[in-house]
Amino acid sequence: MKIKFLLVLLVCSSTLAIAKKNICCSSNYFFPINLNCAIAAADNISVSSQTKLGKFIPLTGNIEQMKIFFNALKDSKNKIVRIGYYGDSLIHGDVITEYLREKFQSTFSGKGAGFLSIVSSDIKMKATTKHTFSDDWNSVSIVTRNPDRMPFGINGSVAVPKTGSWVKYESTNYLESTSSFEKAKLYYSHADNSSVIEYKINGRAPVKVNLHTGENVQELLIDARGNVASIEIKFISGKAPYFYCASLESGSGVYVDNFAMPGNSGASLLEIPKNVINDFNKYADFNLIVFNYGANVSSPNKGIYTLYENKMISLIEEFKKLFPRASFLLVSVGDKTMKKGAQFITNPEVPMLLETQKKITEKTKIAFWNLWEAMGGNNSMKDWVGSAPPMALKDYAHFTPVGGSRVAELLFEAIMNSYRAAN
């Protein structure tokens, strides 16, 4: 029996590329293709809070385990609370997580986008941060080949510079939560005494820094002691380190880190070296880990779901050991529809995957949120695609930022409902 994962990344990427190429602010299809277009669409995205699509669905599973996160939230005004949100193409471009971040930071304080990769494939989709970089980085990720076996960072990627390689992050007015930041934290390893970078805040004179040596992950804290609109980091000279990511923050509060990995089932997270995760935990104490996968697990063969179940159980149990001070939440697959005659109906593989995900949460004793049911259940995706403005793309599998904001709203309500019940 041949069991395989069916990767839908090529189809999804083509759909998104067409959307970005042909649809901008003048259309009612709000999938941002550039920063100006995205900001202009912001007013329209707020329409999602008025829509009747979707419904409240509470968290289920082991809610007791969520108390680790809930207790951290109580002290968010005095400490950093981190949510590591791992997912596939459903959260690519900060979709869902951008509004979940907005909800948490407006309620519990905090300001900033959190972790951002050095090199990323979603920079034309992302509106919360304008992210640019030179094209000479040697970068790999969990979803690409890694011939040199470079160690992945907490976000599943790593980049090695050449002399003069640079990356720049700029805040935008798309959402209040990411409109500025006060601190940038740069994470790297394998530098030596000759490794030098320089950074520029808000375009001012560059500041040179000698990086710390060692094979362990190091943190460089850049504190502007005031609001920052942009920071550019350039590698100047010496041995080229492994650069993992930067984090844009403003002190205490809640940070939702988007770790999008398109084309992935989630099992590949085990490729992140344990020692790297342990090093990151010294600097960034994660209080909640969210898994939002499923779009790339598709087969009429039931054996594929048993394989997926076993792999995800192994992943979650390993991550529970690696993140001992974190709660865990699995967000289910959403509705995906297919055309049958003149009708769009739920793909028959969705219920099989949904039941598998319920088994995963039962066996690992973590919390569960049923996104499929929150969307409206059977055949609901066609309504999200057909709404005005559209809340899902015409691939009938992925959300627009409008739909992503609605999902974030429903997820936030579910988490807060359990938070209030626990307190």
CATH number at residue 219: 2.60.120.1360
Among 200, 229, 251, where does a domain finish?
Answer: 251
Tell me, yes or no, whether 369 and 342 share the same domain.
Answer: yes
Domain ranges, residue 155: 114-251
- Tens-place pLDDT, residues 380-395: 999 999 999 999 999 9
Same domain, 261 and 398: yes
Q: Could you say which DSSP state residue 300 is in?
A: S
Let me know whether 314 and 263 are in one domain.
yes
Residues 259 and 400 in one domain: yes
pTM (2 decimals)?
0.89
Lowest mean pLDDT among 70-79, 144-153, 234-243, 339-348: 339-348
Average pLDDT over residues 225-249: 97
User: Is residue 41 located within the same domain as residue 139?
Assistant: no
Question: Is the Cβ–Cβ distance between 163 and 236 less than 8 Å?
Answer: yes
Q: Is the pLDDT of residue 13 over 70?
A: no
Indicate whether 228 and 337 sit together in one domain.
no
Rounded Cα distance, 186 and 62, in Å: 35
Measured CA to CA, the distance from residue 341 to residue 393 in angstroms comes to 20
Q: What is the mean pLDDT of the chain?
A: 89
Domain shared by 242 and 351, yes or no:
no
Of 234, 251, 268, the last residue of a domain is: 251
Residue indicated by tokens 């009938």: 396
What CATH number is associated with residue 99?
3.40.50.1110
- Residue 316 and residue 208 share a domain: no
Q: How far apart are CA 39 and CA 43, in angstroms?
A: 8
Q: How far is the C-alpha of 158 from the C-alpha of 271, rounded, in Å?
A: 12
Give the span between the Cα atoms of 98 and 39, in whole angstroms. Answer: 13
- pLDDT at site 360: 98
Q: How many CA atoms lie within 13 A of 135 on its CB side?
A: 0
341 or 92, greater pLDDT: 92
Spatial separation of the C-alpha atoms in residues 123 and 353, rounded to whole Å: 30
Domain boundary among 194, 219, 251: 251
Confidence of residue 48 (pLDDT cuts 50, 70, 90): very low
**Same domain flag for 131 and 77:** no
Looking at the chain, the whole-number percentage of residues with pLDDT higher than 70 is 88
In this structure, are 257 and 406 located in the same domain? Answer: yes
Task: pLDDT band for 76, please (50, 70, 90 cuts).
Answer: very high
Q: How far is CA 74 from CA 40, 366, 418, in A?
A: 35, 21, 14
Asked whether residue 242 falls in the same domain as residue 261, the answer is no
Instruction: Convert the pLDDT of each residue in 207-233 to its tens digit.
Output: 999 999 999 999 999 999 899 999 999
Does residue 405 carry a pLDDT above 90?
yes
Inter-residue contact 179 to 44 (CB < 8 Å): no
Residues 225 and 272 occupy one common structural domain: no
Domain count, the chain: 2
